[in-house]
Structure 1
Amino acid sequence: MSRSLLLTLCALLCLVAVARCLPLQEDEESSQGPRIVGGYVTDVAQCPYQISLRYKGITTPQNPYRHRCGGSVIRNNLIATAAHCVIGTVASQFKVVAGTNLLSGTDGVIVSVSKIIMHEEYFSGAAYNNDIALLVVDPPLPLNNFTIKAIDLASEPPLPGAISKISGWGTTASGGSASNVLLAVDVPIVSNEICNQDYENFGDSTYQITPAMLCAGVRGVGGKDACQGDSGGPLVVRDQLHGVVSWGNACALADYPGVYANVSNLRPWLDEKIAEESQL
Structure 2
Amino acid sequence: MRRPFVRALALVAAAAAIPLVSPAPARADAVIGGYPVEISATPWTVALTSRDRFGGTRAGQFCGGVVIGRSSVLTAAHCLSEDVLGTPPRQVPDLKVVAGRADLRADAGSEAAVRDIWINPEYDGYTNAGDFAVLTLSEPLAAGSVIPMAGPGDAAYRPGTEAVVYGWGDTTGGGAYASTLRASRVQVLSDAVCEEAYPGSADGTYLAGSMLCAGEAGGRDACQGDSGGPLVAQGRLIGLVSWGNGCGRAGSPGVYVRVSEVARALRGGR
Equivalent position to 1:80, from 74, 82, 85: 74
**TM-score with structure 2 setting the length:** 0.84
Counterparts of 1:137-176 in structure 2, within 5 Å, are 137-143=137-143, 145=144, 149-156=145-152, 157=154, 158-176=157-175
Report the 3-state secondary structure (helix = DSSP H, G, I; strand = E; otherwise coil) of the residue aligned with 2:267. helix
Counterparts of 1:1-280 in structure 2, within 5 Å, are 17-24=2-9, 25=13, 26-32=18-24, 35-57=30-52, 64=56, 66-88=60-82, 89-91=88-90, 92-123=93-124, 127-143=127-143, 145=144, 149-156=145-152, 157=154, 158-200=157-199, 202-203=201-202, 206-218=204-216, 221-273=217-269
Q: Deviations over 1:229-265 (max 9, x none)?
A: 1100000011111100000001111111100011012
Q: State the distance in 2 between where 1:99 and 1:244 align.
A: 19
Contact 1:33-1:229 within 8 A present in 2 as well: no
Report the 3-state secondary structure (helix = DSSP H, G, I; strand = E; otherwise coil) of the residue aligned with 2:169. coil
Q: State the distance in 2 between where 1:81 and 1:183 align.
A: 17
Flag the 1:75–1:33 CA change in 2: closer, same or farther, 3 A: farther
Contact 2:5-2:243 within 8 A present in 1 as well: yes
Report the 3-state secondary structure (helix = DSSP H, G, I; strand = E; otherwise coil) of the residue aligned with 2:241. strand
Report the 3-state secondary structure (helix = DSSP H, G, I; strand = E; otherwise coil) of the residue aligned with 1:152. coil
**Number of residues paired by the alignment?**
248
* Amino acid aligned to 2:76: A
Q: Deviations over 1:26-71 (max 9, x none)?
A: 443135585410001111111110001102457x9xx545001000
Contact 2:97-2:111 within 8 A present in 1 as well: yes
Flag the 1:160–1:99 CA change in 2: closer, same or farther, 3 A: same
Runs of 4+ in 1 over 6 A off after TM superposition: none
Q: CA RMSD in A?
A: 2.2
Contact 2:218-2:249 within 8 A present in 1 as well: yes
Contact 2:52-2:60 within 8 A present in 1 as well: no
Q: In percent, how many aligned pairs have the same letter?
A: 34
Q: State the distance in 1 between where 2:24 and 2:113 align.
A: 24
Q: Deviations over 1:104-135 (max 9, x none)?
A: 432111110111111110017x5210001000
CA offset at residue 93 of structure 1? 4.2
Q: State the distance in 1 between where 2:186 and 2:223 align.
A: 13
Flag the 1:257–1:243 CA change in 2: closer, same or farther, 3 A: same
* Amino acid aligned to 2:252: Y
Contact 2:74-2:132 within 8 A present in 1 as well: yes
